[in-house]
Amino acid sequence: MNWPIVFLLLANLALLSWSASSIEDLDPPPNAAPSLLSCDEVILDLVPCLSYLRGETKQPSAACCSGAQKISNGAKSQAAKKDVCTCIQKSLASVGPYDKNLIPLIPQKCGIPLALPPIDAKTDCSKVAIYV
């Protein structure tokens, strides 16, 4: 596991937790249905996937698959899937280079019924419904 990247993600997570403006950006609108997953949980669940997304390993680890399964279990509504996409998008912006095309392969390689788009800064997470 690449510990500097894990540290960077956890530091990013802490900054998001302490910054009111960042939290407001990540929280759904007041009239939206509550998601079963927080962005913090999504980040922690996907940290083990970084080595795969960076091309350092050929397969997602068991911990990565476990995290993806948790996300699949918690992201059932369209609003929750959009929130997961937005969270992943904002989190990956701070980790350096990665292959966005490996993101959809994580659920496939882990045998999980979850469809994720190739997520990067240009992904329109409001249209994530086309991927489910």
Question: How many Å apart are CA 22 and CA 57, to the nearest integer?
Answer: 32
pLDDT < 70 regions, the chain: 1-36, 128-132
Note the pLDDT of residue 29: 43
- Model confidence, pTM: 0.71
Q: Are 44 and 87 in contact (CB under 8 A)?
A: no
Question: How many Å apart are CA 71 and CA 68, to the nearest integer?
Answer: 5
Note the pLDDT of residue 27: 46
Note the pLDDT of residue 129: 55
Positive or negative, the CA dihedral 120, 121, 123, 126 is positive
Note the pLDDT of residue 77: 85
Note the pLDDT of residue 127: 81
Note the pLDDT of residue 1: 52
